[in-house]
């Protein structure tokens, strides 16, 4: 990376366009997801080598269950394969991996793989990789506030949860989110032309710089990442 460029500490990516990429090539949507998954593995190495400390990607939303049964089953099969490969990637890159979202909706074998991946990588600190699976920001907030209500009922809410005016602190609220302990993203990248958050990290992206590109995720390689970081640096000039 150019020494004059400031590399974001935390990049969040919406991995969009896999299905459309495949359709343009007269291939099934599932093929696009496979290629997109392979690209994610490659880009993890690129992003780590650039010096980015945190990477969070949107892999499967709470709304994705509404897709066709064949596509959902294909994605679940892909998750089974990727989670196992990710264990090797975590060891290679000394990378801590965390799944954000509600894994309870997945079949038990996928839940077991998630637990194994998180457990085997929990002590690594060269890079922090978050994968949003069965994730939706509204769902995250509702789940977090449900846990907070239980703590209030049980009398286990932290003493410093409120400020001197009796107002709930942001620190307390954030401690109940899936991303507790993870800094907010500095840069959000969304591929394939859409310009919306799609229920992704809505609290965490409050002050994040956004970068939208027409390039679909399977074609988003190092050169495109550099363009995003260059645009991020231009935005810093105007702060």
Please give the positions annotated as active site.
16, 64
φ/ψ of 113, rounded to 5, equals: -65, -40
> H-helix or E-strand containing 14?
strand 10-14
Tokens 């994040």 sit on residue: 208
**Chain CA centroid to CA 8, Å:** 15
Alpha carbon of residue 40 to chain centroid: 11
Give the integer Cα–Cα distance in Å for 156 and 151.
5
Pairing state between β 209-212 and 95-100: unpaired
Other CB atoms within 10 A of residue 203 CB: 15
Task: Name 190's bridge partners.
Answer: 14, 212
In whole angstroms, what is the distance from residue 116 CA to residue 113 CA?
Answer: 5
């Amino acid at each position: 990376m150019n020494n004059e460029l400031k590399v974001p500490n935390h990049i969040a990516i919406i991995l969009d366009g896999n299905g459309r990429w495949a359709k343009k090539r007269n291939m099934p949507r599932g093929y696009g997801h496979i290629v997109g998954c392979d690209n994610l593995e490659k880009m993890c190495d690129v992003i780590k080598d650039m010096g980015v400390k945190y990477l969070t990607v949107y892999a499967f939303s709470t709304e994705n269950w509404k897709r066709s049964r064949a596509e959902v089953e294909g994605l679940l099969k892909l998750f089974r394969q990727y989670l196992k490969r990710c264990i090797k990637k975590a060891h290679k890159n000394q990378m801590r991996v965390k799944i954000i979202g509600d894994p309870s909706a997945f079949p038990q074998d996928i839940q077991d793989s998630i637990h194994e991946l998180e457990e085997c990588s929990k002590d690594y600190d060269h890079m922090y990789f978050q994968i949003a699976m069965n994730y939706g920001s509204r769902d995250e907030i509702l789940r977090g506030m449900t846990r907070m209500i239980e703590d209030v009922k049980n009398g286990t809410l932290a003493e410093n949860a409120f400020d001197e005016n009796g107002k709930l602190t942001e620190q307390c609220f954030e401690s109940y989110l899936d991303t507790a302990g993870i800094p907010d993203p500095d840069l959000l990248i969304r591929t394939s032309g859409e310009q919306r958050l799609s229920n992704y990290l809505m609290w965490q992206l409050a002050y994040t710089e956004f970068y939208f590109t027409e390039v679909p995720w399977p074609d988003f390689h190092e050169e495109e990442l550099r363009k995003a970081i260059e645009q991020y640096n231009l935005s810093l000039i105007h702060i």
